[in-house]
Amino acid sequence: MTRLQELAKLGQSIWLDYISRSLITSGELQSLIGKGLRGITSNPTIFEKAISGSSDYDDDIRRLSAQGKSDVEIYEALAIDDITRAADLLRPLHEETRGVDGYVSLEADPKLAYDTEGTIVEVRRLWKLLARPNVMIKVPATAAGIPAIERLTTEGINVNITLIFSLSHYDAVARAYIGGLEKLAAAGGPVEKVASVASFFVSRIDTMVDKALEAKRTLDLQGRIAVDYSKSVYSRFREILATSGWKRLAERDARVQRLLWGSTGTKNPGYSDVLYVDHLIGPDTVNTLPPTTLEAFRDHGRVAVTLTEGLDAARARLSRLEALGISIGQITQKLQDDGVMTFARSLEGLLNSISEKRKKL
């Protein structure tokens, strides 16, 4: 049994934070599924690396360009093709797990992060284009994204909520999902067919907090706060599952909105390359790993439930952080704001790469 399969037995699914045409056509994705991989996530940055870093898409770009397609239309056509191919490879797993796993996520236009109605229209369009039950559309947990998440859930659309950095972000996302399911249930809709994950971004918290701790000359807390904060969010998640509101939905076979740990590649080379995997294992969770982190965990990761360990000590360290005058609330809101801008720039970079490819071809 592989480490990924052992994690699945503990209730955690490993998804790959990467997609490319060659991953699909070479048989590598199918091989990883056989070894315990249970899903895929993507974003414009990932597609930009895949498209600009290979010739896999050149023929399609040449063909679509000849048809008069714009850079945006070419990107969407390439992305839809990859996502649907990957979803079809994962479809047997989706059916085998009765809809728990086997998902592929596609990012909605990040420029719509502060546009509720625009997000709803865009996600509906992508959902219809993809036309597969094992696809999720990514929507950010911004103030404008929250009502969109509730509406889309009410419509039975699978949503992967991204850019969650704080406990308050997570609370709003959980309320939106439950509210959407309650409205769907009230209308007699199939709540059991809706799936969602709440993607909490981990490593970026340490990156920013560590700088603040260095300025305070408090080095013993460095590299710990992201995991500690994640454990606090997981504790809140378990509390929500124990509420009467959720239990009523569970009686109708509603699916748990699992916590997904995102941004789990270790950015500080002084830390373990599996820091944000080994310490974030627990039931009803997903961890989406970039390829290098996936290989590192497959090689030397530790399989054990760790999310519930040392919660009191984690909370004590978070209290120390606040006592030092470092506001986790301010840091996490800045991280979300910066994340929205980064995603938008990534899309611009992707479109520029396609434009350059068209000129060369």
DSSP secondary structure, 136-187, as one string: EEEEE-STTHHHHHHHHHHTT--EEEEEE-SHHHHHHHHHHHHHHHHHHHHT
pLDDT at residue 295 in the model: 97
Token pair in block for residue 135 = 């696809």
Tokens 């992508």 found at:
126
pLDDT at residue 359 in the model: 86
Containing H/E element for 48?
helix 44-52
Q: How far apart are CA 265 and CA 275, in angstroms?
A: 8
Count CA atoms closer than 13 A to 132's CA, side-chain side.
24
3-class DSSP assignment, residue 57: coil
Which alpha helices (H) appear in 187-326, and where do they start and end? 203-215, 225-241, 244-250, 275-278, 291-300, 311-323
* In contact, 197 and 136? CB cutoff 8 Å: yes
Distances (CA, A) of 83 to 70, 246, 329, 333: 20, 31, 35, 30
| Of residues 300, 113, 44, 338, the one with CA closest to residue 207 | 338
Token pair in block for residue 346 = 């990534």
DSSP 256: P
Question: What fold, for 3-360?
Answer: TIM Barrel (3.20.20)
Q: How far apart are CA 98 and CA 177, in angstroms?
A: 20
Annotation says 138 is catalytic: yes
Q: Which of these is catalytic: 35, 49, 69, 138? A: 138
Tokens 């606090």 found at:
232
Residues of the chain falling short of pLDDT 50: none
Token pair in block for residue 83 = 């996502």
pLDDT at residue 358 in the model: 87
pLDDT at residue 52 in the model: 85
pTM of the model: 0.96
